[in-house]
């Protein structure tokens, strides 16, 4: 999968990872893919809700150790 933009949100607490992602995805073209790496466990729920509400596609959410990885496609 091609990642067009990546955000390192490690160490940031809610709502900062989501705010950074919203800003980044707003600057992207339709079809581009954003990957966000966060350490806030609440980001799993927050990013899924954001994808549903914004109409963007959640491609993948994974948890590796203390990191939560979110991959979304801009619609």
Residues with catalytic roles: 14
Tally of CA atoms within 13 A in the half-sphere of 21 that contains its CB: 32
- For the record, the structure tokens of 21 come out as 């992602």
Say whether 22 sits in a helix, a strand or coil. Answer: helix
């Amino acid at each position: 999968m091609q990642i067009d933009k990546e955000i390192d949100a490690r160490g940031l607490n809610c709502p900062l990872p989501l705010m950074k992602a919203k800003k980044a995805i707003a600057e992207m073209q339709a079809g581009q893919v954003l990957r966000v790496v966060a350490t806030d466990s609440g980001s799993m729920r927050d990013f899924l809700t954001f994808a549903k509400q914004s109409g963007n596609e959640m491609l993948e959410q994974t948890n590796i150790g203390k990191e939560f990885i979110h991959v979304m496609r801009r619609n």
